Amino acid sequence: MPDTLAEMAVDVLTTADGRAKTAKSRDYAARWFAARAAGAPLPVGRAMPPLRPSRPEAPALLDPRDVPRRRPGSPEGRIALLHAVAHIELNAVDLHWDIIPRFAHIAMPPGFYDDWVKAADEESKHFNLMCDCLEAAGSHYGALPAHAGMWRAAEDTVDDLAGRLAVVPMVLEARGLDVTPGMIEVFRKAGAQDAVAALETIYAEEVGHVAYGSKWFHYLCGAGGIDPTPEFQRLVRHYFKGALKPPFNEEKRAEAGLAPDFYWPLAQQSGTGRDR
Ligand SMILES: [Fe+2]
Ligand SMILES: [Fe+2]
């Protein structure tokens, strides 16, 4: 049984099966918060995270160009969409645990660890919810191929905490806020109440993850006397290949502490310019 938060993180990262990974993740999160509530916090400690997390044998991981597209209006299309979200959530579980041991050499306040443990716990719930929906529809996680390369952002920012925060919560998870309402509509039209409820939970909790990213990015910039807006743009241009795609969910992004002047200068303006 691991004794430190960093060891717990490595145990989650090196567990391959999705349901087993999320069970450990939720159990360790509960242990962390119980110890915090009892006034006897567990040590963060040090442990060496793997360069890449362990993953199950299925799904096969394919280049995004080779993942078959299915019509979103069809039952197969909806299963493919749930499967894609499950894959994103499993990756997110690993991303949030990875940040803890990866950057344990940088002194951060206890709230930093609270936020990422809470986010990892929520991603674990999200993965389980998507698996439940897939199984209710006669499928399961692993039944379809999934995108390879989702760990790329983690590898690229392996030695840059501000870069990790800029790219993972503030770009990738913020993108989730942009696209989730459209997904909820797809399932609402199909009368799939379980998927609607699961995606609404995900949508509400993802605002928090983007907010944690923004909070700790601003903290690091403030500690270093760095202007956060140009620094965010510099880091995203350096680590994230390609422009950000409007339309943006400006309201939810603002709720998460992402101001429009952060991300609009990084957007591809052709065709879908800002409509104001
Ligand atoms: Fe999530
Ligand atoms: Fe998230």
- What Å distances lie between residue 99 and 161, 221, 272, CA to CA? 8, 18, 34
The answer to the question of residue 245 being in a domain is: yes
CA 225 to ligand 1 center in whole angstroms = 32
As a whole number of angstroms, the distance between CA 141 and CA 128 comes to: 10
Task: Give the total number of structural domains in the chain.
Answer: 1
- Give the tens place of pLDDT for each residue, 112-155: 999 999 999 999 999 999 999 999 999 999 999 999 988 999 99
- Give the tens place of pLDDT for each residue, 229-253: 999 999 999 999 889 999 999 999 9
More confident residue, 182 or 72: 182
CA 93 to ligand 2 center in whole angstroms = 8
The answer to the question of residue 8 being in a domain is: no
Structural domain span for residue 152: 72-266
The answer to whether residue 272 scores a pLDDT higher than 50 is no
**Strand ranges (DSSP E) for 32-163?**
61-62, 146-147
The answer to the question of residue 156 being in a domain is: yes
Confidence band for 64, pLDDT divided at 50, 70 and 90: confident
Ligand nearest to the CA of 95: 2
For the domain that residue 186 is a member of, what is the CATH number? 1.20.1260
pTM higher than 0.85 for the full model?
Answer: yes
HSE-CB for 110 with a 13 A CA cutoff: 10
HSE-CB for 158 with a 13 A CA cutoff: 9
User: 54 — alpha (psi -120 to 50), left (phi > 0) or beta?
Assistant: beta
CA neighbor of 121 nearest in space, from 252, 213, 18, 23: 23
CA 87 to ligand 1 center in whole angstroms = 10
Ligand nearest to the CA of 172: 2
The answer to the question of residue 62 being in a domain is: no
The answer to the question of residue 57 being in a domain is: no
The answer to the question of residue 9 being in a domain is: no
The answer to the question of residue 60 being in a domain is: no
Tokens coding 116: 């990422």
**Which residues crowd ion ligand 1, with CB under 5 Å?**
89, 92, 123, 126
Task: Give the mean pLDDT of the chain.
Answer: 95
The answer to the question of residue 246 being in a domain is: yes
